[in-house]
Amino acid sequence: SRRLRAVDLAKRKAEGRKIIALTAYHAHTAGILDAYCDFILVGDSLGMVMHGMESTLPVTLEMMIVQAQAVMRGTSRSLVVVDMPFGSYEASREQAFLSAARVLKETGAGAIKLEGGARFADTVAFLTERGVPVMGHIGLTPQSVNTMGGFKVQGHGAGDEARLISDARAISDAGAFAIVLEGIVEPVARAIATDPAVTAATIGIGATSACDGQILVLEDMLGLSERAPKFVKGYGSLRAHIEGAVRLYAEEVREGRFPADEHTYAPR
Ligand code: KIV
Ligand code: NA
């Protein structure tokens, strides 16, 4: 079976079938997700999740490409979407195209994602017209942490609601096949997700169940991250699981119980 494409996800909205998505940065985890997800996002959250950075701003295009290559190797069915990191697309639509082309050429991924609303509609159209499927991302956009003054939920007040709705419409009109709605108060997210003028599929994270699909950061939902936002439901407790295994290993090595005979090689 061939890999899903951006156009297949766009169809899901019309069919009313939910779009399932998670993030992954590694071949092995992506491989587990592959049977269950429609798309896997190689998110720039990898800067914080894998590297302990305080924001996503230091993430480079090279880092994204290396992890996207790993995720492509580990999967065969899901669409792989790759985040454009801060500084790789904002200066001009030409810069955005050159960065996006590198990602698609060097990884084989099927789409890119970029953060921003109406201001980036021009860029979204430029990329789409040139063969790059684009997923938008509005609301709480982590690359704008410095101008937002923190990781803040968006959509409080009528002005903010109107801005977010016009951002979603602009990105959708420009040809984005999907839009991530992150950290947006529920009624506003719902208004966008049910807006007939937004033809792009809406993917929620801290948004609303009315979205066409949902995404979470894998390490957050698995309970591996040290702390996760309120919108994350814990579907696992990997942190405790890993700690238990490591504690037992340390104990057994200390006491000489590991390795046992079955873990050693007899001479021929
Ligand atoms: O970087 C990321 O993981 C993301 C998702 C949270 C949507 O952009
Ligand atoms: Na991201």
Per-residue three-class SS string for the chain = CCCCCHHHHHHHHHHCCCEEEEECCCHHHHHHHCCCCCEEEECCCHHHHCCCCCCCCCCCHHHHHHHHHHHHHHCCCCEEEEECCCCCCCCCHHHHHHHHHHHHHHHCCCEEECCECHHHHHHHHHHHHCCCCEEEEEECCHHHHHHHCCCCCECCCHHHHHHHHHHHHHHHHCCCCEEEEECECHHHHHHHHCCCCCCCEEEEECCCCCCCEEEECHHHHCCCCCCCCCCCCCCCCHHHHHHHHHHHHHHHHHCCCCCCHHHCCCCC
The one catalytic residue in 15, 62, 129, 182 is: 182
Give domain status of residue 244, yes or no. no
Number of domains into which the chain is organized: 1
Give domain status of residue 84, yes or no. yes
Give domain status of residue 256, yes or no. no
> Which residue's CA is the closest to the ligand 1 atom numbered 4?
43
Q: How far is the CA of 82 from the centre of ligand 2 (A)?
A: 9
Q: Is 90 a catalytic residue?
A: no
Radius of gyration of the chain (CA): 20
Give domain status of residue 218, yes or no. yes
Question: Which atom in ligand 1 lies closest to the alpha carbon of residue 182?
Answer: 7
Q: Could you list the mean pLDDT of each consecutive 10-residue stretch along the chain, which spans 268 residues? A: 91 94 98 98 98 97 98 98 98 98 98 98 98 98 95 96 98 98 98 98 98 98 93 97 98 98 96
φ, ψ at 6 (rounded to 5°): -55, -40
Give domain status of residue 117, yes or no. yes
Residue range(s) defining the domain that contains residue 176: 6-236
Q: Is the entire prediction scored with pTM above 0.90?
A: yes
Known binding residue 122? Answer is: no
- 207: three-class secondary structure by DSSP: coil
- 235: three-class secondary structure by DSSP: coil
Which residues are within 8 A (CB) of 176 and not within 5 positions of it... i.e. 6 or more apart?
124, 128, 134, 135, 136, 200
162 touches 117 (CB < 8 A): no
Q: How far is the CA of 23 from the centre of ligand 1 (A)?
A: 7
Point out the ligand nearest to the CA of residue 204. 1
9 touches 38 (CB < 8 A): yes
Site to substitute for ligand 1 among 80, 205, 225, 232, most atoms within 8 A of C-beta: 205
Structure tokens at 118: 């109406």
CA-to-CA distance for 81 and 68, rounded, in angstroms? 8
Q: How far is the CA of 157 from the centre of ligand 1 (A)?
A: 25
Question: Which atom in ligand 1 lies closest to the alpha carbon of residue 56?
Answer: 1
Give domain status of residue 248, yes or no. no
161 touches 188 (CB < 8 A): yes
* CATH number of the structural domain spanning residue 213: 3.20.20.60
Give domain status of residue 113, yes or no. yes
What local confidence, expressed as pLDDT, does residue 1 receive?
63
What type of residue is 11?
A: K
Give domain status of residue 143, yes or no. yes
CB 180 near ligand 1, within 6 Å: yes
Known binding residue 212? Answer is: no
Site to substitute for ligand 1 among 215, 219, 224, 232, most atoms within 8 A of C-beta: 215
